[in-house]
Amino acid sequence: EFLKRIEDWINKWKLDIRLNSEVTEIKKTKEGYEIFVKDKPEYLAEFVIIAIGIFGKPNKPSYPIPEELKDKVFLEPPVEIPENKKILVVGGGNTAAEVACCLCEVNDVYLSYRRPQFFRINEINLKNLEEKEKQGKLKFLMATDIEKIEPYNEKIKVYFKDGKEDIYDLIYYCLGGTTPENFLRRIGIPFDEKGNPLIDEFFETSLPKVFLVGDIALKQGSIMKAFNSAHIVIKRIKEKYLSA
């Protein structure tokens, strides 16, 4: 339902979404901010709103991912929802929970977590997980750890450390990642002694017209607070910079 709402907004407002466009640099110029995509200048913007979350690059598993599986194994949540697939989601945090709950509506989904119980998931996601399991839409593989994966008849064969094996169509790893601190520092955003980016009450950084929103702007918060930060930023831009 939420994804459908987002899609409707994109279509209604004709938002220009650029996929596979990794921003590597943001530089201040006389005309505004020059946005570099893959180290090449691509855009010039008056305002910049950074909403890249708290993980800059996703963590990879300790074992190698065979090249033949690159179109079946993913380190980030799906952009489009596959259907009628047997899927393994690996991880025990909120991202893993949300991905598993989303995928299990139209797929056969298994959630593998190396600990015997969840402890890093918020109450809403935990409740959703438990409901999906009770409905038979999601299977938990608790206290499981993967030793290796390999190609198997156009699918993925997974070897668990307890000796068990299984075959899947797709794997989504949700293992967290490194923070984007280096990127933010590189573009000129300072941090406090606790490692938090310095922003004002309207989420504006020391770079004029550059804002942070979402998890990256919140020391501790919820999904609703993350969304509300975007509303606060847009309202601030309108009142501070666009009012006649």
What's the pLDDT at 179?
67
Q: What is the maximal distance between C-alpha atoms in the chain?
A: 69
CATH 3.50.50.60 fits 57-175, yes or no: yes
Q: Which residues, at least 6 apart from 8, have a Cβ–Cβ distance to it below 8 Å? A: none
Q: Which helix (H) or strand (E) holds 42?
A: strand 40-45
- Lowest-pLDDT range, 54-58, 61-65, 129-133? 54-58
pTM: 0.62
Alpha-carbon distances, residue 99 vs 25, 127, 225, 231, 232 (angstroms): 29, 14, 20, 25, 27
What's the pLDDT at 220?
63
How far is Cα 48 from Cα 166, in angstroms, rounded to an integer?
45
- Check residue 80 and report its DSSP letter: S
The average pLDDT across 210-215 equals 94
| 191-221 burial: b if 16+ Cβ within 10 Å, else e | eeeeeebebeeebbbeeebbbbbbbbbbeee
Q: Do domains 2-56+178-240 and 57-175 have the same CATH topology?
A: yes
Evaluate if residue 120 carries a pLDDT over 90: no
How far is Cα 84 from Cα 136, in angstroms, rounded to an integer?
15
Instruction: pLDDT band for 244, please (50, 70, 90 cuts).
Output: low
Is the distance from CB of 155 to CB of 169 less than 8 angstroms?
A: yes
CATH architecture of 2-56+178-240: 3-Layer(bba) Sandwich (3.50)
The average pLDDT across 51-77 equals 89
Evaluate if residue 161 carries a pLDDT over 90: yes
What's the pLDDT at 110?
98
What's the pLDDT at 114?
95
pLDDT digits (tens, 9 = 90+) for 162-202: 999 999 999 999 998 766 888 899 999 999 998 889 999 99
Burial environment of residue 226 by CB neighbours within 10 A (0 to 12, 13 to 18, 19 or more): middle
Interior angle at CA 113, CA 107 and CA 117, nearest 5 = 115
The average pLDDT across 139-167 equals 97
Which residues are 49's β-sheet partners? 211
Instruction: pLDDT band for 222, please (50, 70, 90 cuts).
Output: low
Which of 82, 38, 51, 7 has the alpha carbon at shortest distance from 215? 51
Q: Would you list the domain boundaries of the chain?
A: 2-56+178-240, 57-175
Mean pLDDT for the chain overall: 92
Q: What angle do helix axes 94-103 and 123-134 make, rounded to 10 degrees?
A: 30
